[in-house]
Amino acid sequence: MKKNVLTINHTLSATYPDGFREMSSVELKKFFRTDASRCGVHDKDRHMIMNVCWTKPGILGFMTDERSILNGAETQLSRHLQKYRRIDRLSREIMGYPAIGIRFEYTVTETDIIQYSDLYVVKAGKVYYAAQSIGRKENFAQDQELMEDFLNSMTTLT
């Protein structure tokens, strides 16, 4: 399977398989309410998205860590997603850095479709990155493999 490259914040890259394509600004706004500091890929046939957003804390950056970024993201998710439920806490390495995350499910608004998502936060340099996969519950095992490949391919650009 051919690998395509997604450039993240002009500093990182990740590969993604055929069948996915980079999301446009319009698509990012549709799914995430903003396209600022975010990029992603989408496979419409699989109903799967892999995306990354980033933030660089300001003057109070010394008070920020992966846990505070993840907690803030989870607060927003629980407010905006229908029937949000955290399933598990996650941890792993991404690009050699420790990352923490959550696995959760929610119901797509005005449907009975259940989505699963993994969300990881990692700090690389002075920037925090949140990498997320979103997909249908019935495809979860296969989607996890694709996300593993995506996360394992993440590297800094030189």
Short-list 56, 131, 134, CA closest to 97:
131
pLDDT score at 39: 97
Give the SS3 label for residue 137. Answer: helix
Calpha distance 130→33 (Å, rounded): 16
pLDDT score at 109: 87
Residue pair 101/87 in contact by the 8 Å Cβ criterion: no
pLDDT score at 30: 93
Residues of the chain with pLDDT under 70: 1-2, 59-62
The DSSP result for 63-111, as a single string, is: G--HHHHHHHHHHHHHHHSEEEEEEEEEEEEETTEEEEEEEEEEE-TTS
Q: Which residues pair with 116 in a beta bridge?
A: 105, 135
> What pTM was estimated for this model as a whole?
0.92
All domains in the chain, ordered by first residue:
3-156 (3.40.1000.10)
pLDDT score at 62: 66
